[in-house]
Structure 1
Amino acid sequence: MNQLNLNKILDDTFTEIRDKRENYKPGPQLQEMGTVKNVSAGIATVSGLPGTGFEELLQFSNDIYGIAFNLDEDDIGVVLLGEDDQIQAGDKVTRTHRVADIPVGKGLIGRIINPLGNPIDDKGPISYDEYYPIERPAPPIMSREAVNVPLQTGLKVIDAIIPIGRGQRELIMGDRQTGKTSIAIDTILNQHDKDVLCIYCAIGQRTAAVAKVVSELSEKGALEYSIVVVSEGNSSPGLQYITPYAATSIAEYFMEQGQDVLIVYDDLTNHARAYRELSLLLRRPPGREAFPGDIFYIHSRLLERATHLNDNHGGGSLTALPIVETEAQDISAYIPTNLISITDGQIYLSPKLFELGLLPAVDIGKSVSRVGGKAQLRAYRKIAGNLKLAYAQSEELETFSRFGTRLDEDTQKIIEHGKRIRLLFKQPEMQPVSVTEQILVLVALTKGLFDAVPLNRITEAEDLVRKKATQLSSDLLRRIISSEPLSATDEETILAMANEALGSLVRDTQIKTNNGE
C-alpha cells in the first residue's frame, strides 16, 4: 500500500468519525426516580432515591422543588419549597444532583424577590451573573480583617453609645411593636451616598408589613441601593427557612467584589419557628421549648458569614442586623440567648420607653457593642465616652428621688442632666442625623450647655445647634468624619458655635425665671 492510498484511508476515517460526532443524538439516559409516599404541611416523604445526598434539591411534578433533609434507610424526608396541595402520593420525584441555589448579580439591585430568586415586584425578569448555593461556608479566619470602619446608623443614641462597625453582627431585640424594624430601616436610609448596598430580608412577615417597608424605602430613594428578599407569613415553612441563607448568598456575591453590604434579618424568631415546625413534622426529637437540638447551629452558621474581608480578598464587608422578638421583656428566653451569644452585641428596646414616647426606645443599660470604640469615629470617643455613665447615674438617682428624699443641689443637677440626655437621644423615625450635626449636639450636651434650657424647649434648642453644622470650616469637617481626634481648639470652636446658637434661647429663659414666669 503506497502513501497516497494510506492518506486517503485516513482522511475517509476522520471524515466518518466527524460526521458521526456531529450527527450524534443521545439516547435515553438512566435517571434515578422516586415516588412520593405521603405529603403533609410542607413535608413530603419519598422512597426510591438511594443515591440522594443531604440537602440535595429534588424535583417534583408541576416544577416544585424540595430539599432532602432526612436521609433514612427506607425513605427521605423532603422539605418542600412550594405549595404542598399540588403534590399527591404516587407522584414521581427526580434528583437534580445539585443543592438549592439562587441567582446573584447587579441586576438584583432595586428588585423585590422571593427566596428562589423569582421577582415579585411586577418589573419583569431579572438579569443575573451566576448562581450561588444558598448554603456556603463562612470565610476562614485568615481571610478576615478586624472591624474598624464605622457603619453610621444616623441614630444619635446608637452612633454615640452603641457603635456598629462594618462587618459586625449587632442584634436588635425587644417585645412586639417597640420599633425594632424602624431602627433597621433608619439605618438603611442613612446609607444613602455612603456606597453601602443594603439587603432587607423579611422572614414570615405579614404582606402589609412588607409593603409598608418597601413603600418607605421607595419614597426615600433607598430602593435604588437595596434588595428586598421576602417570604410572607403564608409561605411554606421551607421557603421561610431558606430565606435568610438565600439573602446572605446574594450579599456575599457583592462582598467578595469589595463592596460593603448591610443585611437585615426581620426576624429570626419566625425563622426559628419555621425550622421547629419542619423538624417536628420530620419527627426529629424536640428539646427545650420544643426546638430541635440543632437550633443554635442554624443561626450560628448564618451569622458567621458576616465579616470584614482583608485586602487580599477584596476588602468588602457584610454587616448583619438580626432582629429577634422577646416576650414580656424576657431576654433570657431560648432563642434570644442563643443569638446574644452568637452576635457582637445587642440593642435592646424597652416597651416602657416606647410607651413614654422616647423613640427610639433603646435601653442604654441593657444594650452593648462588643466591638466598641474601635468601630467608632475618633471624634465620638472623646465626647461620648462618659455619656453612658452619666445617664446611668442620673437614672439611679432619679429612682432614689421617687421615695420623696430631699436632694442636694449637685444631685439635682445630675438628674436634670440625665433628663436632657434622654430627650436629646429622642429622634423621629426616618430622619437620620448626619455625623457633623451629631458631634455638635454631643459636644454641647457633654459640656452642659443644654442644662440651662427648659425641658419643654430641648427639641427647639437641638435644632438651633444642628443648623450650625453648615457653618463649620472644611478642615474641621474633614477631621470630624476622618479618623483624627478632635483637638481642644476644635472643641472650643464647636462650643462657641453652640453657645451662639443657644444664646438667645437661654437669655429668654433666664428673663422669664427672673420675672417669676
Structure 2
Amino acid sequence: GDRQTGKTALLTDTIISQKHSGGGDPQNPDQVICVYVAMGQKQSTVVDVVQKLEANGAMPYTIVVCASANDEASMQYLAAYAGTTMAERFRDEGRDVVIMYDDLYKQALAYRQVMLLLRRPPGREAFPGDVFNLHSRLLERSARMADNAPEINPRYKKGGGSITALPVVETQEGDVSAYIPTNVISITDGQIFLESNLFNAGVRPAVNAGISVSRVGGAAQIPGMKKIAGGMRLDLANYRELQAFAQFGSDLDKGTQDVLTRGERLVEILKQGQYVPMKVQDQIMIIYAGTCGGIDELAVNKVTEFEKVYLAYMEDNYPEVGAGILADKKVSDEHKSKMDEAIAAILPQFA
C-alpha cells in the first residue's frame, strides 16, 4: 500500500497477536518468535513500534533489527539478511518464526544507491539488473524444515521449524503494477493491498478485498473459518461493484439493495481497533452474524456496538460454542443454531 495506510500498524498487531501461541514466554517451545526488520524508516517510527510492543508485553519474544533512514545505504540493504540469519537460528532449533521486512521498497532504493556508487550498469527505473535476485534470495530463505531435517543434514539440531516472511512494499500512488511491487508479488504466496481511499473513509485495516489475494487458498485457515467466510469475498466484491452504480440512481431493485445492505454491514464488521487482536473463534462468530443475514435489519452505525454486545453475550451464555470451534476447528449446526438464538435475543436492544 501507499505511505500512511497502516502497513506498520498491521505488522505490530501481528506481533502482539502471536502472544497467544506460547503465553509470551520465549522459553516456551510453542511461542512464535517475531523478528521485525526496519529498513530506511524514521527512527521515531521504530521507537513508536518498540514502545507499543513493550506496552503490550510483546518484546520478550521479539527481535527488532533497525537500519534507519540516517544509517548508511549498505546497512539498510544488508539489515534484511541479518534479520533472516537470526530467524534461521531459531528455525534450526525447531521453532516457528515470523519475520517482517519493513519495507522492501526502501531496501531496493538503498541497494540501487550502493550499486550505482559501484558503477554497476543501471536497468529499469535505474535499479541494477539483479534487483529481482535481491528479493528472491532473501524471501526463499523463509521456509519450513522437514521433520527429519537432522537425519538429512546433521547441522540442524531439530526438524519442523519454520520461518514465515511478511514483506512490506510501499507503492507510489497505489500503483501495484510498478517494478518492485510486481517483483515481490511474483515471489510471495499472495498479497494484502491497503488502499488510501478506504483508510481515509475510516475503513481500518484498509484492505482492498479485490486486489488482495491468497495463492494458498484456504490452506492457511481453519475449516470453520473457510466455511463461514467463504462467500464473504464475493459479497464484498459485488458490493464494491454496485456501490459505484448506487451513487447515480436511487431507483434500485430489491436484489441490488440487498447486496448493498449486506455489503455495508460486512465492511463495518471488518473494521478493527488498533492493538486489539481478536480470537479466531470470535472472528468466526461475528462473521457468521454478517454472512447469515442476521444483522441485515440493523442500522449500520450500530454494528460496532452490536459486535461488542454479541460477543459478550456468547461468552456469558454460550461459552461452549467458542470453546467448541477452537477445539474442533469446525462450526457445527448446533453452534449455528446457538448463534442464531443469540442474534435474535440481542437485536431487539438495537431496534
Q: Could you state the TM-score of these two structures normalised by the residue count of structure 2?
A: 0.91
Matched, 1:277 2:113: yes
Matched, 1:294 2:121: no
Which amino acid in the other structure matches residue 189 of structure 1? I
Matched, 1:263 2:99: yes
| Structure 1 residue 477, shift from structure 2 partner | 3.6
| Structure 1 residue 494, shift from structure 2 partner | 2.1
Contact 1:252-1:318 at 8 Å conserved across structures: yes
For 2:99 and 2:74, locate their aligned partners in 1 and report how far apart those are by CA, in whole Å. Answer: 21
Matched, 1:220 2:65: no
Which residue is 1:440 aligned to?
Answer: 285
Which residue is 2:269 aligned to?
Answer: 424
| Structure 1 residue 245, shift from structure 2 partner | 0.4
Which residue is 1:398 aligned to?
Answer: 243
The CA deviation string for residues 115-164 of structure 1, in whole angstroms up to 9 with x for no partner, is xxxxxxxxxxxxxxxxxxxxxxxxxxxxxxxxxxxxxxxxxxxxxxxxxx
Matched, 1:178 2:5: yes
For 1:215 and 1:186, locate their aligned partners in 2 and report how far apart those are by CA, in whole Å. Answer: 13
For 1:503 and 1:370, locate their aligned partners in 2 and report how far apart those are by CA, in whole Å. Answer: 41
Which amino acid in the other structure matches residue 238 of structure 1? S
For 1:223 and 1:340, locate their aligned partners in 2 and report how far apart those are by CA, in whole Å. Answer: 30
The CA deviation string for residues 342-362 of structure 1, in whole angstroms up to 9 with x for no partner, is 111000011100111111110
* Secondary structure of residue in 2 paired with 1:429: coil
For 1:243 and 1:455, locate their aligned partners in 2 and report how far apart those are by CA, in whole Å. Answer: 45
Q: Structure 2 vs 1, CA of residues 468 and 328 (structure 1 numbering), >3 Å: closer, same or farther? A: same
Which residue is 1:504 aligned to?
Answer: 349
* Secondary structure of residue in 2 paired with 1:349: coil
| Divergent runs of 4+, >6 A | none
Which amino acid in the other structure matches residue 178 of structure 2? A
Which amino acid in the other structure matches residue 411 of structure 1? T
Which amino acid in the other structure matches residue 263 of structure 1? I
For 1:474 and 1:415, locate their aligned partners in 2 and report how far apart those are by CA, in whole Å. Answer: 33
Contact 2:195-2:208 at 8 Å conserved across structures: yes
| Structure 1 residue 502, shift from structure 2 partner | 2.9
Which amino acid in the other structure matches residue 249 of structure 1? T
The CA deviation string for residues 444-498 of structure 1, in whole angstroms up to 9 with x for no partner, is 1111111111011111111111213424767544442245422212211222223
Which residue is 2:203 aligned to?
Answer: 358
* Secondary structure of residue in 1 paired with 2:9: helix
CA RMSD of aligned residues (A): 1.4
Contact 2:144-2:161 at 8 Å conserved across structures: yes
Which residue is 1:92 aligned to?
Answer: none
Higher helix share: 2
Which residue is 2:339 aligned to?
Answer: 494
Which residue is 1:337 aligned to?
Answer: 182
Which residue is 1:248 aligned to?
Answer: 84
Contact 1:354-1:360 at 8 Å conserved across structures: yes
Q: Structure 2 vs 1, CA of residues 391 and 264 (structure 1 numbering), >3 Å: closer, same or farther? A: same
Q: Structure 2 vs 1, CA of residues 251 and 469 (structure 1 numbering), >3 Å: closer, same or farther? A: farther
> Which protein is bigger by CA-based radius of gyration?
1
What residue ranges of structure 1 are gaps of 5+ in the alignment?
A: 1-173, 510-517
For 2:314 and 2:82, locate their aligned partners in 1 and report how far apart those are by CA, in whole Å. Answer: 42
Which amino acid in the other structure matches residue 6 of structure 2? G
For 1:339 and 1:325, locate their aligned partners in 2 and report how far apart those are by CA, in whole Å. Answer: 11
Higher strand share: 1
Which residue is 1:198 aligned to?
Answer: 34
Contact 2:314-2:342 at 8 Å conserved across structures: no
Which amino acid in the other structure matches residue 420 of structure 1? R
Which amino acid in the other structure matches residue 220 of structure 1? N
What residue ranges of structure 2 are gaps of 5+ in the alignment?
A: 22-30, 150-158
The CA deviation string for residues 297-337 of structure 1, in whole angstroms up to 9 with x for no partner, is 01001000111222213211111110011101111111001
Which residue is 2:160 aligned to?
Answer: 315
Q: Structure 2 vs 1, CA of residues 296 and 482 (structure 1 numbering), >3 Å: closer, same or farther? A: farther
